Structure formats: C-alpha cells, structure tokens
Amino acid sequence: MEHIKVKIIATLGPASNSENSIADLIDAGVNIFRLNFSYADYDSHRATIRTIRKVAQRKGANIGILQDICGPKIRVKGLRNPLDLKTGDLIRLSKEPSSGAITLTYPQIIDDLEPEDEIFFADGSIQTKVVEKRNEEIVLKVYTSGRLLDGKGVNLPKASIRLPALTKKDRSDLVFGAKEGVDFVAISFVGSEKDIKEARSILQDAKSDAWIVAKIERKSAIEHLEAIIDESDAVMVARGDLGAEAGICRVPMLQKEIIHACNEAGKPVVTATQMLSSMLSSPYPTRAEVSDIANAVLDGTDAVMLSDETAVGNYPLEAVSILVDTIMQSQRAYPYYAHFIPVAREAFPHAAVELSRTLEHDFICALTLSGYTLCHVSKFRPENPIFCITPNDSLVRKTTIVWGVDTTVTIKSFSTEKELVDKFLSHACCQPNAFLLVTGHLGEMISLGKSVRYIRPDDRKM
C-alpha cells in the first residue's frame, strides 16, 4: 500500500468542531488539528482539545494538536456595518472612533504613518494609500475595491512599525496551551529569533516541551530567516500576511526559499493559506489550487494546512480528500534522496538513507529521544516509509508533523537489540522482510555509540 508522506493539518471551527466531524476528518487523513486562538474562549478550546484526544484514542490514531496564537495582528475595530469601498474612495482612519471614520486595534500606528505609505486590509484584497495626515487621523485613498468588515486584518508593507511578537493575551494563551498539553505552538508575526526565545522561555516556565512553529509572515522574518529556523522546532510559510507584507508576486519564490532552507536544516516546514479557498463554497477545487498543492509537495514541504476550508467551509471532508489525492499523485514524481551534504551530527541518519538506496528493506526505523535523529532521516528524503521508536511519550504526537513518518511507538526500556526489535515489531504490528535501524540518543544501549543496523527478522530466528 502506498504511503502518504506529506502531513495534513486541518483547522477546526464551526463547520468541523464536533466529535463526529473530528472522527471523519481523521479517517479522511488529517494528522494534526489546528486551534485558532484568534477565536473562541478557553472553555471552548479546552473542550475541543479533550474531544480530539478522546476520538484519537478511540481510533488508535496518532493525532497532534497545534495551538496557533494571535500575535500582534492589527485589525479593523469599531466598524458597525460592512463598508463597501470602490477605487478612488477616500476613507478616514482615526485614533478614536468617530462618525465617518474607522479605527484599529493598534491606533498608535497613525503616528508612524506618512503620506504615500500603503495600508492593506483583508490579506491585501483592499489596498489603500495615505494621501493626507492630520493630528489624530489620516486619510486613505482606495486603490482596489472590496467590502471591509470589522475585525479584518491590516498590513503595512512599507511602514517600519515594530510590534512585539507576543502580546499579553499570547502569553496567557501559551500558559493555557501548556496546561492542556498541546503538541505544537505556532507563533504569529515572528520578527527575529528573539521572539522564539521569549516564547520558549514562557513554555519552559509552564513545564511544556511543545514544539514551536515560527510563522513567516513579516519581511523582517525573511531577513532573519536562518536564525529563526535555528531557534525554532518547525516553520510555517504563512502566505496570507506574507503576501500582503512582501507582495503577492514574491510569495512563490519565498515559499521555495523557506522550504529549501528548512529542508537543509532538517526542520519540518508547513505550507499554509488559501490552498483550497474555492472549496469554501464549492465541492471541487480549481486546477490552479491543485497545482499549488502539487508544487508545495514537490518543493519539499513536510505538511500542508487548511484554514477556512475546514473551519467554516461547506466541504471540509472533500477538501481533505483533495489534499490526500493530490499529495499521493505528486509524490510519485518527487525527487527522493535529497543531496544535502551532511554535517557530523547527521552522519548516521544520512548513512541509513544512503544504505536504503542499495539494500532491500521495508522501512527505516529511527530510535530517538528528542526527535533529532528522526527529523534528520526525514531530511534526506528516503523513498520508503520512516518508523520511529522513542522512550519519550511527549515526542510521539510531535512526529505527526515530520515528512515520511508512518508509525511511532513508545518503548520505555530494553537491554539488548533483540529485545528492542521484538518489542518494536510487536508494538508496530508489522512483519517486515528487512529494515534499517538507526540509533540516535540511547544508542549506547545497543552498541558503543550511535549505529546503523540492517535487520532481517528471519536471520534472528536461526
């Protein structure tokens, strides 16, 4: 049976946040559920987390939970009724709500804006420019028409405004997520590696080892990309705000650049935003959307993410099905065995993947405590599936974001290679003809240090 290698993340919302829908989405192929902390309260999120765990346990499925915190997203505030804007219209943006003017959740930005600065609304779909600045307000001219709603996001592609990545609400959300045991935390509007360090400090104080996913959606994040990747556990190409900030025509090449940099570093990378937007109201995607998914797969993404498509769309199951089918078709043309030059720490994962090109085997199995060995087997993109053994319970659900991983099992203790393999085959319920075993941390329990073994279970019975 062909194995799907790219992982699927689905956002839960009114269209899908029920026990039956979650079960159906797991059956359809979802690996991770995203909870958007821009919406709902803690009681609702707590109930959702417990429902996911309950359904996953019932199904015997390894399912991750991604907490996506808001960050300092600037939004339209106090707009009582939708505002239909046409090209050429003038609108007033004020620090304080007033008749005929709108304001923002961060009104102080008016002080930093100057004539000719651009302001984009709703992920860049409504574009305006500052034409006049007064004491407490500015006047904007509309260049692309559209309907503006209260709560819509605001982007400032050229203005040099520095907002902290973590707000007071974000800090509270991180502590809540830590208490509820989420597996991943997505940090919005990361500007530099300092934002990741701050988030990790909060998580550590809250006794959480959740993996941090840095969302790349600011121009400053592109400038600090290497340091952000180094400091993060995973990265997300957040194409909505990234397109508004950097320009939509740059997004395709930025996506390729970010994915390649993450692949080279051995860090999981997620491609997100508008993958199947037409399926909000249609049971069928456009050809362009399917091509977009295929290109993300061929670029080397570890995971693809659905947002509104599963949260509020009319066809969440159909959207996941399209993802699965497109990934399966695309990975048949995927260029396996990535030609990255390994560094010393990657020598054994790299050796295992190189041996897999020659030796008959069913899969590569990584023994790991932190996930490093697993991620760096994945880095070199073997064609056959990847299995994982770990004594670390909290790592199990984190492997749901790693490209190519099929099965993860927990083995707490063993004293010999035979005991390890016997327990692994029993837990994984598999009978391979042969497989490769690469040991990372705890490798000394098998030999003097790390190793790569070629194991044929039939040989051990002789």
Query: Could you tell me the two tokens for 244?
Result: 């508004």
Please state, in angstroms and as integers, the Cα–Cα distance from residue 67 to each residue in 34, 129, 184, 347, following that order: 6, 34, 6, 33
The answer to whether residues 148 and 79 touch, using CB atoms and an 8 Å cutoff, is: yes
Catalytic: 273? yes
Q: Output the CA torsion 125→126→131→136 (10° steps).
A: -110
Catalytic: 34? yes
Catalytic: 75? yes
Q: Which of 7, 215, 239, 450 is catalytic?
A: 215
Q: Which of 46, 53, 75, 129 is catalytic?
A: 75
Catalytic: 215? yes
Closest CA to 254 of 235, 233, 239, 244: 239
Please state, in angstroms and as integers, the Cα–Cα distance from residue 84 to each residue in 104, 131, 142, 443, following that order: 18, 20, 11, 64
Q: Which of 5, 7, 11, 34 is catalytic?
A: 34
Closest CA to 407 of 438, 380, 432, 428: 428
Q: Which of 48, 103, 128, 273 is catalytic?
A: 273
Show the 3-state SS of the chain: CCCCCCEEEEECCCCCCCHHHHHHHHHHCCCEEEEECCCCCHHHHHHHHHHHHHHHHHHCCCCEEEEECCCCCCEEECCCCCEEECCCCEEEEECCCECCEEEECCCCHHHHCCCCCEEEECCCCEEEEEEEECCCEEEEEECCCEEECCCCEEECCCCCCCCCCCCHHHHHHHHHHHHHCCCEEEECCCCCHHHHHHHHHHHHHCCCCCEEEEEECCHHHHHCHHHHHHHCCEEEEEHHHHHHHHCHHHHHHHHHHHHHHHHHHCCCEEEECCCCHHHHCCCCCCHHHHHHHHHHHHHCCCEEEECHHHHCCCCHHHHHHHHHHHHHHHHCCCCCCCCCCCCHHHHHHHHHHHHHCCCCCCCEEEECCCCHHHHHHHHCCCCCCEEEEECCHHHHHHHHHCCCEEEEEECCCCCCHHHHHHHHHHHHCCCCCCEEEEEECEHHHCCCCCEEEEECHHHHCC
Catalytic residues: 34, 75, 215, 273
